[in-house]
Amino acid sequence: MKKPGSDLQFKDIQGLAIRGFGRLPYAGYLCFGIAEKPLFRRWLKGLLERGEIASGKVHNTELGDSNRGIAFTAAGLQTLMESAWLETSFPVEFTEGMVQPQRSRLLGDIDWNAPKAWRWGVQDDIHGVLMCFAQQRAEVEQMLDDALQASNGLREVTRIYAQLPEDGKEPFGFADGISQPVIEGTYRDQALVSKRERQLHAIAAGEFILGYPDGSGQLPRSPACSPAMPGSDRLAPHCLRPELRDFGRNGSFLVIRQLAQDVEAFKAYVEAHSREGLDVGEKMLGRTREGDSLTRDTSAQGVNDFDYLEDRKGQGCPIGAHVRRSNPRSTVHDRSDEAALKVSNRHRILRRGRVYENADGEVGLLFLCLNASISRQFEFIQASWSNDPFFQGLAGEVDPISGTARGNAGVFTIPASPYRHKLQSVPQWVTLKGGAYFFLPGMQALCALAE
């Protein structure tokens, strides 16, 4: 069967998959259970009919003062789809969920990060998450309250408020949101002019949105549903199994993790171990506090237009630094830089996170990312790059910012000449407070769920 075209169907893609709603700085996330299916479907149908879940077709300048997105866990989809639910068509990491024991070990969710210590994600059965975005915190709070009162089919599990920091910096004091992939075919893609920019930043749409070719030229695995499901007639036939409907097309898998940051401990450690000309915090992160690269890439033209080819030994940006582990660019292996970039770009994620602060003063990052394959993208980064103690020749080191350090036993190497500088007893600064895997359906799939 002919593959679907690569032209993005923006009107069938939820807006969150196309943009981060930067003009709407406040956000609220309501993790919910579905208590009454008929009432929930009626409420969801109302949201769609009123255009309160904007599609990717709506440009930033056309967005109102608020917007919404909605995604579902495997349990939530099974509840709504009933007999049309085809579990084997969904990836196993999604159906098993984040808290499956083997997956917890893979992700580094052990010790302090173990699910048994989480606030949410384990104790209650989460069916979905409603994400609300607005100009003011009070508006977001009202949007979540209205959702609970209007539907009468929702059961609140937890809610988290977050926002885009006014100074653009995350709680540790570093500029955030700088390195983002650009989806080919979107408006941001048009701004990438040079070959270098495209190699570094332009990523095939199928790496993030189902129904389009990925970086290998193949279609990512897409969930299916039975044609007996009410409303499924609005969905296209599945490209591999035409007797079924393509439930996944124009959707994406969403990862949410609440990461508490121990800011005081981080600052104290950095102050104690830094010296003139050496900011240990910048070395551990891999960028300056204003977001500039630490590499010695003489050909770089912009804050994110750099590579590590001229800094393979890490004397500019340490090999084990957070941003280098998260995206090693063309140093992922020793082949040509172009071939290496292609490999590295198969493991990119589209981040949609914001910072949060609880009433008790706890601060951190509500991490959100979108990807077409949770296992090949998010989980690979966590297991093979961030938490790999032998990443690119290192020995016994994990990500110094977000890695699981097993108490205060972490180490971090700062290459230098003639002698390297090795930090000992690096604490774990970040603690996981909850998380779950979701599926962000396309607009037509949402309409089918509302039938």
Predicted pLDDT at 166: 92
Instruction: Name which of 17, 1, 442 is nearest 225 in CA terms.
Output: 442
Copy the structure tokens of residue 372: 């077409």
Which residues of the chain fall short of a pLDDT of 70?
A: 1-6, 58-63, 193, 196, 296-305, 330-337, 405-408
Copy the structure tokens of residue 209: 């949105």
In a 10 Å sphere around its CB, with 0-12 CB exposed, 13-18 middle and 19+ buried, how is residue 424 labelled?
exposed
Taking CA 254 as the corner, what is the angle to CA 249 and CA 259, rounded to the nearest 5 degrees?
175
Instruction: Name which of 107, 180, 111, 113 is nearest 382 in CA terms.
Output: 107
Rg of the Cα trace of the chain?
Answer: 22
Instruction: Name which of 76, 160, 146, 154 is nearest 118 in CA terms.
Output: 160
Predicted pLDDT at 302: 61
Predicted pLDDT at 337: 66
Question: How do residues 114-142 score in pLDDT, each as one tens digit?
Answer: 999 999 998 779 999 999 999 999 999 99
Copy the structure tokens of residue 120: 């949410």
Copy the structure tokens of residue 17: 């998959």
Instruction: Name which of 122, 139, 140 is nearest 131 in CA terms.
Output: 140
